[in-house]
Structure 1
Amino acid sequence: MLLGSEAVSLSGSAVSTLALPALAVLELHASTTEVAVLAFLGQLPNAFALWAGALSDRHPKRPQLIASDLAAAGALVTIPAAAVAGALTVGQLCVVAIVLGAAKVVHDAAAISLLPALVQPARLHDANAKLGAASAVADSAGTNAGAALVSAVGPAHSVLADAVSFLASAAFVWRMRIPETTTAARTRTGLARDIADGLRYVTRQPTIRTVIAALSTLSFGLAVMNTYWAYYLLDRLSVSPSAFGVIMGIGGAGGVAGALLAPRIAARIGIGPTIIVGFAVSPLAQVPLLCAGPGPRWQIVLAVTLAVQLFWATASGTSQRSLRQTLCDPAFQGRMQSASTTLTAGARPPAAVTAGGLVLLLDVRATLAVGALLQVVPVVLLLASPIRAMRKIPARAVVPPAHEGATS
């Protein structure tokens, strides 16, 4: 049920990802500043991921999943309603973007931390692999469907598909019947205390701490590159929009394969090496990009390289997520996941600012090179940790409750 819920909501969200900016630009004639504000407000709720994680640990997760899906669906329905009435504004789109972002933060914190309660520890890696593959397929299918819907019925009415997807997701979750324990709720502490306890727990678990640090530094380096990645391909390398789509499609196929094969790869070479190889391939995969020139041969090289990069990125991603979920105390699952979300998502805005500053001092290619070099840092962090010798996911380490450690 969780797999169906995640797949259907992701496919619908991919439609809105295309439809909202298209609606702002094509029908409401938003300025560049308004478009930037719309994008910023959509990401703003990520700053409150720690609160979402604390709520996830404090209360049962199923009601949170259902409530977030219904809130997102309700916000989306207002767009075609306002469009029909001739009252749609950029301001309303901004409010909808905030609601969607907040719903996503709450949903993700509850969904990711719920998975360990649904499956046995021995099957957790396989479950994460299936979720990763389904998410990649759903996102790709949703993007293609979104482009078709925007062209066929217009961006305002195409968001109804996303609203329906959230309702379907809520229905899937409603049918789940699982026992849930909410240890954090029994302590009767304040939400701020729950967050502080969660952060202390994460910092005191060395493997979880190292993986999250590696994820956040990788996110920063990738975000530096992603700021100008599409621009570099389309402008400097003269890649056509259709060829760009083909490159992205081939890369996405690599991601699906990596998610499906992650458990087999980890069983063959070990969970630690799988994680480290995934991180190490990322900076290496940027070398062909930095050496590339215009022409179809280079486009083929870039497509293959992106497929390899995403193959190992998803294999590594499902492996490190399974490792963190297994090691983490059930009472801290939501807060552990939200700490990771806060640091990885929080690294992207300053990385974009850094990229903007670098491009003024250097050029686009040199800025991309800096982003690639920054991606070496998380590899060093992982190689310097016990993760490099880890062949199987170990049993959960016993870590005293954070509030007890704080008072000793």
Structure 2
Amino acid sequence: MTVAAGTKRSTVWSQPAFRLLLGAEAVTLSGSAVSSVALPALAVLELHASTTDIAVLAFLGQLPNAVALWAGALSDRHPKRPQLIASDLAAAVALVTIPAAALAGLLAVGQLCGVAVVLGAAKVVHDAAAVSLLPALVDPDQLHDANSRLGAASSAADSTGTNAGAALVGAVGPACSVLADALSFLASAVLVWRMRVPEAATVPRTRMSLARDIADGVRYVARQPTIRTLIAALSILSFGLAVMNTYWAYYLLERLGASPSAFGVIMGVGGVGGLVGALFAPRIAGRIGIGPTIIGGFAVCPLMQVPLLCAEPGLGWQIVLAGTLAGQLFGATASGTSQRSLRQAVCEPAFQARAQSASTTLTAGARPLAAATAGGLVLLLDVRATFAAGALLQAGAAILLLASPIRTLQTIPAHGAMPPAPRGAPS
């Protein structure tokens, strides 16, 4: 994607394939945000799931992340559009079974567990393909803007979807509400199908074994200092957040007495904060530097958890929690779009999907262990103490970045401007 001399420079929005990807991501994230309200309400309020059931659901939903390296290796071998379409269709089919079982009077927590596994697996395949496809759709200097728009779409989808989810749960019940998510996956599949991007597999035709491809990807990430540090910090932050998120919905709905509508509003207000953070990420990075933007976002997360540790039932605390969630997601999305752009810029094209899958494995793949840890801590202590442990872990991620050279990084370097990873094997 080059611009001839004397012609007007293209923008990220002028790329048709990017617009379709953005639309697909926005619509499916909106649907998933509906499910983020409907599924907890279904488990807690209608199926009367216990704290152990909640932990098992969280564990199984994150379990497919453990095979993210496999998904990344396949994504680097094969065209990514078919993978995006297949994952969307699989998720849609799984979600449709929930209202069908509810209408038949057969819905149980066990089925929710099965759906959680399918949704988790579909997300792993989808993310590996989508994140690694983006650098092929836009120019290198447009990556931060492209990620900013994707982050803004994600936040807007969260805000719109959670509010819509709260309204749908109240109108038709949580089981039928998940149909909106199923339809969103179908719409995403259609948009990706319309995308026309010439793709070539990045692994040579004389392919090595899949295990060798995976091992090469792991070695590449381990030896690339910028990518390695960012993924390590992300894994610590993600573990701490996952410990807290295991009981986030349960805590608000059961312990703080929030209604499903109030829960959806809190999540929606948080999404607004994420939207603003994503939109302003390039401007913030341009003013204070890419490194400080990333570190600042990591530092905001644990600070915004303090009100949650003090919260009591009542509208006043619900307003406070909505505000702190907005602040947390503002920092998280500003930081997230910035660190993702940095990783994509310094990563070699042949390793894009495997680098993303390594991040998924260490960040999301550890969430089943985080859910199990949360379950154990709740049995030994209580929910508030579990939240405190999660917040302390999140602070560790910011400390790690502060001790790294990333803190002095002002701009996203061009590929090759930073020390490359030693090559352990041909790609």
Q: TM-score, normalised by structure 2?
A: 0.83
SS at match of 2:364: helix
User: Which moved further from structure 2: 278-287 or 129-138?
Assistant: 278-287
2:156 aligned residue (130, 137, 141): 137
In the TM superposition, 1:79-118 aligns within 5 A as 79-80=98-99, 92-118=111-137
CA distance in 1, matches of 2:206, 2:215: 14
CA distance in 2, matches of 1:368, 1:190: 43
SS at match of 2:425: helix
CA distance in 1, matches of 2:303, 2:51: 35
8 Å Cα contact 1:57/1:185 also seen in 2: no
1:338 aligned residue (348, 357, 370): 357
8 Å Cα contact 1:239/1:299 also seen in 2: no
Structure 2 vs 1, CA of residues 12 and 300 (structure 1 numbering), >3 Å: closer, same or farther?
closer
1:162 aligned residue (181, 193, 196): 181
8 Å Cα contact 2:44/2:250 also seen in 1: no
Query: Do structure 1's residue 304 and structure 2's residue 323 form an aligned pair?
Result: yes
Amino acid at match of 2:284: I
Structure 2 vs 1, CA of residues 187 and 315 (structure 1 numbering), >3 Å: closer, same or farther?
farther
The residue that corresponds to 1:371 in the other structure is 390
Structure 2 vs 1, CA of residues 249 and 78 (structure 1 numbering), >3 Å: closer, same or farther?
closer
The residue that corresponds to 2:296 in the other structure is 277
Structure 2 vs 1, CA of residues 382 and 359 (structure 1 numbering), >3 Å: closer, same or farther?
same
User: Which moved further from structure 2: 117-126 or 38-47?
Assistant: 38-47
1:48 aligned residue (50, 67, 82): 67
Query: Do structure 1's residue 393 and structure 2's residue 393 form an aligned pair?
Result: no
Query: Do structure 1's residue 201 and structure 2's residue 220 form an aligned pair?
Result: yes
The residue that corresponds to 1:315 in the other structure is 334
CA distance in 2, matches of 1:27, 1:363: 24
8 Å Cα contact 1:198/1:402 also seen in 2: no
CA distance in 2, matches of 1:89, 1:110: 32
Structure 2 vs 1, CA of residues 371 and 162 (structure 1 numbering), >3 Å: closer, same or farther?
closer
- In the TM superposition, residue 89 of structure 1 has moved relative to its aligned partner by 6.3
1:382 aligned residue (401, 404, 414): 401
- In the TM superposition, residue 148 of structure 1 has moved relative to its aligned partner by 3.2
User: Which moved further from structure 2: 156-165 or 128-137?
Assistant: 156-165
Q: TM-score, normalised by structure 1?
A: 0.87
2:89 aligned residue (49, 70, 76): 70
Structure 2 vs 1, CA of residues 290 and 148 (structure 1 numbering), >3 Å: closer, same or farther?
closer
Query: Do structure 1's residue 266 and structure 2's residue 285 form an aligned pair?
Result: yes
CA distance in 1, matches of 2:299, 2:397: 8
List alignment gaps of at least 5 residues for structure 1: none
Structure 2 vs 1, CA of residues 140 and 92 (structure 1 numbering), >3 Å: closer, same or farther?
same
SS at match of 2:412: coil
CA distance in 1, matches of 2:47, 2:247: 27
8 Å Cα contact 1:16/1:162 also seen in 2: yes
User: Which moved further from structure 2: 282-291 or 63-72?
Assistant: 282-291
Instruction: Please identify which structure carries the higher helix content.
Output: 1
Structure 2 vs 1, CA of residues 200 and 296 (structure 1 numbering), >3 Å: closer, same or farther?
same
The residue that corresponds to 1:147 in the other structure is 166
Amino acid at match of 2:128: A
Amino acid at match of 1:396: H
CA distance in 2, matches of 1:356, 1:79: 25
Amino acid at match of 2:168: L
SS at match of 2:203: helix
User: Which moved further from structure 2: 215-224 or 24-33?
Assistant: 24-33
CA distance in 1, matches of 2:263, 2:95: 30
Query: What do residues 279-299 of structure 1 show as CA deviations (whole Å, max 9, x unaligned)?
Result: 112222334444566766655
The residue that corresponds to 2:345 in the other structure is 326
Equivalences, count: 404
Amino acid at match of 2:332: A
SS at match of 2:178: helix
Structure 2 vs 1, CA of residues 72 and 352 (structure 1 numbering), >3 Å: closer, same or farther?
closer
8 Å Cα contact 1:59/1:185 also seen in 2: no
SS at match of 2:213: helix
Query: Do structure 1's residue 403 and structure 2's residue 425 form an aligned pair?
Result: yes
Structure 2 vs 1, CA of residues 104 and 303 (structure 1 numbering), >3 Å: closer, same or farther?
closer
List alignment gaps of at least 5 residues for structure 2: 1-19
CA distance in 2, matches of 1:325, 1:35: 35
SS at match of 1:184: coil
- In the TM superposition, residue 39 of structure 1 has moved relative to its aligned partner by 4.4
- In the TM superposition, residue 108 of structure 1 has moved relative to its aligned partner by 1.1
Amino acid at match of 2:160: A
User: Which moved further from structure 2: 240-249 or 100-109?
Assistant: 240-249
CA distance in 1, matches of 2:411, 2:96: 47
8 Å Cα contact 2:234/2:363 also seen in 1: yes
User: Which moved further from structure 2: 394-403 or 194-203?
Assistant: 394-403
CA distance in 2, matches of 1:247, 1:402: 48
CA distance in 1, matches of 2:90, 2:181: 12
Structure 2 vs 1, CA of residues 367 and 119 (structure 1 numbering), >3 Å: closer, same or farther?
same
Structure 2 vs 1, CA of residues 346 and 244 (structure 1 numbering), >3 Å: closer, same or farther?
same
In the TM superposition, 1:22-61 aligns within 5 A as 37-61=56-80
Work out the percentage of aligned pairs sharing the same amino acid: 79
Structure 2 vs 1, CA of residues 318 and 300 (structure 1 numbering), >3 Å: closer, same or farther?
same
